[in-house]
Structure 1
Amino acid sequence: MGDIQIDSLAAQYDVAVIGSGAAGLSAAIFAALEGARVLLVERTDFIGGTSALSGGTVWAPGTRTGAQVNAGDSRADVSAFLDSAVGNFGDKAMREAFLDAAPEAIATLEDRTQVAFRPYPKHPDYEWDHPHPTLNGRAIEPVPFDTRAMGRTRDMIRPPIPEFTVLGGMNIDRVDIGHLLNRYKSLPAFLHVAKIVSRYMRDRAVYGRHTRLVMGAALVGRLLASALDLGVDILRGAEVTALSQSGGDVTGITLTCEGQTRQVATPGGVILATGGFGRSKARRAAYLPAALRGESPSAPGHTGTLHDLAEGLGAVYGSGNDQSAFWAPCSIRKRADGSTAVFPHFVLDRSKPGTVCVDLRGRRFVNETISYHAFGKAMLEGGPDTAGAWIITDAPTLAKFGLGMVHPGGENPKPHVEEGYLIEAHSLAELAAKTGTDPDALAASVAQINAAAQLGRDEAWGRGGSPYQCNNGDPSVSPNPTLGPIATAPFYAVRLQPADIGTARGFRSDTAARLLRADGSVIGGLYAVGNDLHSIMGGTYPGPGITLGPGLVFGAIAGRHAAARSREEKGQHRAA
């Protein structure tokens, strides 16, 4: 059992899971915990999908882990928050099913597998214009994972985006970044950095890569190790080309791998966890904004192929959502090997004092410190002038906080300038000429942010106006940690464009994650989790981890239901 070849496939498994992101791995684990024999199919060479590239935050209210930092949060408060923030964009019954199941599902992962979470002292909800947002407790994150015990199995995990690592491949998380920025100001920070760097150097010498995983990769690593512990069979590089039916129920799959085709019976059913349709040209054209370009920081496997098969059996997408995908402003550069780097600007630069974002004409158009989803939505809905944008800073801010793919802490900007990723100018007028913005508009935008920094309040756009927004600033700056002057040449700019980081439109289901036909009837044996399932947040983004949290929890719901269905099918067969 474990990572197998197509020749080693059994003729029958209790349950098949298609896709190996966090939701798919969760479904496989929970089915296996119920005693099911599980096959996990991944169409790429790596396990983890976009989950492995993510920050790894899991929004799961009511957990005992979250209670360590916020014991007073209540189910009623969470429901009221979601009812206001999501409203009719999402299905309330699905949200309630998630809230019902989340505490026990997370506890089971922590008690019975290698998955481990920790709370963060401040990890606020994104939307504060609604009742009962919280500073912490609802969002938890995976504990860094040591993969040395996994042997070469660790190489199955999708590698990180190179630009998210330092020193040529060292994985770092938010805790490490804080210490890196303060390594010469604090002895504990210096010792922390020395420890992780020395570990990384040893790993490179012995294993050829960093064996310490953080954030989304840590979550995937822990889930993968747990799935292997439970005897889940994993087939990589395989395509599902057909779904078998009997009496209207899904009872098996047809697989193609390495030029061979196999049919596998799955009496418990098939769980779709393929990551949505973000890599499908046809579905992007049908469901995503026309202004959206094709570049995305998401993983390459979610082509929507399984969506075609599911629709052929009567499955339908949900409706009524606010957005059909989740957004982030991203910057683009060509790597030396010819590949394209797509870097999402989540929190490391937009919210820092000494930056400002302007549209293609040089005008501020948005509160820079809102969530990445809300920022991307503003770009997409702002018309031609916001189809692109510029994030602007000066020399001291660049040295301290970096900008996009220019790492914080004083990385030499010259290579980035020479390749054209980073625009450098010795005056704002020169920066306007190089960026194609209007010089008067750009000067006015910088003057506005400088005046706001002096006042401590952004009267034009409300920058730093909520605890979430302030949390991403510089705590050493007051009264508003997101506001600082842009005054010292040279000045710098990086071009931004809106990009999708995951689809929100997915298949309609019941609260057991079973797919439904247009008439509301259940397609027996066919489930969806993760981004294949219609977003329970309705394409809104009220807090960090609102994709991974529901992904893990509905993975648990679907995996258990499918395992129970297989037991029932076997019982009926024996009785017959």
Structure 2
Amino acid sequence: MPSDRNSQAIEEVDLLVCGAGAGGMTAALVAALEGLDVVLCEKTAQAGGTTSTSGGTTWVPGTHLSEQAGVPDRVEDARAFLEAVVANRGGARLREAFLASGRDAIADLDRRTDVKFVAAAAHPDYLDGPGAAYGGRALAPVTFDGRRLGRADFDRVRPPRREFMGLGGMMVGRNELGALLAPFASAAHLRDAITIVGRYVLDRLRYRRGTRLLMGNALVARLLYSLRKAKVPVLFETGVRELLVEEGRVVGAVLSGPAGPRRIRARKGVVLATGGVGWNRKIRERLFPAGTRDYSLAPETNTGDGADVATAIGARFEDGGDSPALWMPCSSYRRPDGTLAVWPHIILDRAKPGLLAVNAAGRRFVNESDSYHDFSMEQISTGAIPAHLVCDAAFMRRYGMGMVLPGASNLPAMLKAGYVTEARTLAELAEKIGCDPQALAETVDAYNRAAAAGIDEAFGRGASVVNRFNGDPAVGPNPCLGPVGAGPYYAIPVRPADLASSAGLAGDEYGRVLDEAGEPIAGLYACGNDLASIFRGTYPGPGTTIGPAVVFGWRVARHAAGTLNDMPETPADTMKDERTNHATL
């Protein structure tokens, strides 16, 4: 693999890309493949940003991979689905560009790079409606052997969250948990457990963590490996500080690196892909609702640099539509070393029968089985911050809850850490979590009646496709509803934390950043979380942050190289004038 040791000599390139997440890495890679002289700068010492700590699912409708998986998806269906979900919130032209290029972008990466996906045969969209898909749209990165990067570049891949790794550094897939938690349940479980753990043990003889990379880590590693093969210089520990403008055109940037400030001119332009709003305190205080401003799932170095440097030269910043961010309900506790352990409650517990969520009054307020974003939006809109997830001992043993694993073997440690509240009775639990005991008892009684009937008339739990998919198929008549039985009882508080930005820089269908008058700023592009969400604060399905990041990274690179075909004709109703909301920084 080529090194970056001569990169300090770089003074001028065709395209300067700022940020090594999924969007920025895709833009740099494709631009190089299109013949441009490219340099990629990354503020931190590691590549991947939020992508590396995510599931890596990439939502792109109508790809050849859906056909290979036996669940062919049509762009026409995805268009109808998005029209129903996003409705008149704006952004139609950018969504049409995304739909028009998705198939080509994924096919191009598949053909010319080591970035490989497989379409999930079963991974439903998060909302029901016309054109919703059960499978085919959610693309999963193919597992990657990190040893192919070499030790130095393997260490450049930002690791997953500590909470999501086993044995101090081993990545585990959702479908592998059963074998690892119950290795002696069958010969197949034992074989799989020995294979996974054995590989990890051998890895730790030479590496800081396991080299069998899954999910977002696999996607980041594949992008980095492909960038190395394409000989794209990557300037680590080098962030964007200021944009250089001449006669109204962005012609480069001032960067901050290990040797101090440096200037790189860019003949074709600068691409901002710095990770979005993240920890930018000014933007969070202006746009984020109360109760959500103190913690982000983004790396702490994601401080809205792209937004800051672009708005300093007159770029328009949009508030994100329905929400400035996309959310996950998270629980947390302080480790003995003082660091914060955070668990996003994605799919493993909330949808399972026998768990309910209550607000400060001890009442249900939400369909607990809905997507993490929609669950959190209900927390925000109803003021249920924090909310408490409540279950009985049988649920805890069977499914686990948050950082308490199925089987509950680590429950004593989590109780000692103060992560979980335990009580012998519901009345005692109510007292400990600060809600009215009678209200909690009434809530549990009503929930149990709904579980017995299999119908949740209050919130519709188990009525949607994604609800049932994430429930327990062994439970009937509703896989998401089961009784809360005998104690002891347990509760874990959860709060919304942003996993990605929805607010961001206004852009057009080519990823060009717009000024306050709605005109493109020559030589300035944005993709990933730096570009305002094309879904306007809604969350249609799994991977609807990474999917647009990859596709717009591809479109930006092709546009800068002059090899992007004009966007095809689009339905007249998507081309109507759009009203968008703006936020002044």
> When the two structures are superposed, what TM-score results if normalisation uses the length of structure 1?
0.94
Contact 1:529/1:555 (8 A) holds in 2: yes
- CA–CA distance in structure 2, aligned partners of residues 70 and 518 of structure 1: 46
Residue 447 of structure 1: aligned partner: 445
Residue 353 of structure 2: aligned partner: 353
Residue 154 of structure 2: aligned partner: 154
Residue 530 of structure 1: aligned partner: 528
Residue 490 of structure 1: aligned partner: 488
SS in 2 for 1:553: helix
SS in 2 for 1:421: coil
Residue 54 of structure 1: aligned partner: 54
The answer to whether the aligner puts 1:267 opposite 2:267 as a matched pair is: yes
Contact 2:397/2:408 (8 A) holds in 1: yes
Residue 107 of structure 1: aligned partner: 107
SS in 1 for 2:499: strand
Residue 73 of structure 1: aligned partner: 73
Residue 142 of structure 1: aligned partner: 141
RMSD: 1.8
Alignment CA distance shift 1:179-1:102 (3 Å): farther
Deviates further, 458-467 or 154-163: 458-467
2:406 to 395, 405, 408: 408
Contact 1:181/1:400 (8 A) holds in 2: no
Residue 550 of structure 2: aligned partner: 552
Alignment CA distance shift 1:151-1:363 (3 Å): same
Contact 1:274/1:531 (8 A) holds in 2: yes
Deviates further, 214-223 or 284-293: 284-293
1:222 Cα deviation from its structure 2 partner: 0.7
- CA–CA distance in structure 1, aligned partners of residues 202 and 142 of structure 2: 21
Contact 1:242/1:255 (8 A) holds in 2: yes
Residue 224 of structure 1: aligned partner: 224
1:64 Cα deviation from its structure 2 partner: 1.0
Partner AA of 2:557 in structure 1: G
Residue 426 of structure 2: aligned partner: 428
Counting aligned pairs with the same residue, the percent is 44
- CA–CA distance in structure 1, aligned partners of residues 126 and 7 of structure 2: 48
Residue 479 of structure 1: aligned partner: 477
The answer to whether the aligner puts 1:118 opposite 2:109 as a matched pair is: no
SS in 1 for 2:422: strand
1:351 Cα deviation from its structure 2 partner: 0.6
1:538-571 CA-partner distances (Å, limit 9, x unpaired): 1100111111000000000111222339xxxxxx
1:28 Cα deviation from its structure 2 partner: 0.7
Contact 2:125/2:134 (8 A) holds in 1: yes
- CA–CA distance in structure 1, aligned partners of residues 414 and 541 of structure 2: 33
SS in 2 for 1:463: coil
Partner AA of 2:379 in structure 1: M
1:239 Cα deviation from its structure 2 partner: 2.5
Alignment CA distance shift 1:430-1:77 (3 Å): same
SS in 1 for 2:379: helix
Alignment CA distance shift 1:297-1:318 (3 Å): closer
Superposed counterparts of 1:118-517, under 5 Å: 118-128=118-128, 130-152=129-151, 153-180=153-180, 183-318=183-318, 321-383=321-383, 386-517=384-515
Deviates further, 212-221 or 292-301: 292-301
Contact 2:273/2:306 (8 A) holds in 1: no
Residue 25 of structure 1: aligned partner: 25
Partner AA of 1:447 in structure 2: D
- CA–CA distance in structure 2, aligned partners of residues 507 and 190 of structure 1: 50
Alignment CA distance shift 1:492-1:71 (3 Å): closer
- CA–CA distance in structure 2, aligned partners of residues 179 and 292 of structure 1: 36
Alignment CA distance shift 1:186-1:124 (3 Å): farther
1:405-433 CA-partner distances (Å, limit 9, x unpaired): 11224332011101111111111111111
Partner AA of 2:247 in structure 1: G
- CA–CA distance in structure 2, aligned partners of residues 412 and 242 of structure 1: 48
Deviates further, 162-171 or 5-14: 5-14
- CA–CA distance in structure 1, aligned partners of residues 464 and 433 of structure 2: 31
Residue 569 of structure 2: aligned partner: none
Contact 2:17/2:27 (8 A) holds in 1: yes
Residue 571 of structure 1: aligned partner: none
Contact 1:514/1:526 (8 A) holds in 2: yes
Contact 1:31/1:563 (8 A) holds in 2: yes
Superposed counterparts of 1:28-47, under 5 Å: 28-47=28-47
- CA–CA distance in structure 2, aligned partners of residues 183 and 482 of structure 1: 27
SS in 1 for 2:496: strand
Contact 1:274/1:301 (8 A) holds in 2: no
Partner AA of 1:454 in structure 2: A
> When the two structures are superposed, what TM-score results if normalisation uses the length of structure 2?
0.93
1:182 Cα deviation from its structure 2 partner: 5.9
1:459 Cα deviation from its structure 2 partner: 2.0
Unpaired runs of at least 5, structure 2:
564-585
SS in 2 for 1:391: strand
Residue 574 of structure 1: aligned partner: none
SS in 2 for 1:109: helix
Partner AA of 1:157 in structure 2: V
1:287-338 CA-partner distances (Å, limit 9, x unpaired): 1113324112222222112312211222102357111110111112112221
1:352 Cα deviation from its structure 2 partner: 1.0
Alignment CA distance shift 1:7-1:214 (3 Å): closer
Residue 94 of structure 1: aligned partner: 94
Contact 1:297/1:343 (8 A) holds in 2: no
Partner AA of 1:504 in structure 2: S
Contact 2:168/2:209 (8 A) holds in 1: no
Alignment CA distance shift 1:475-1:68 (3 Å): farther
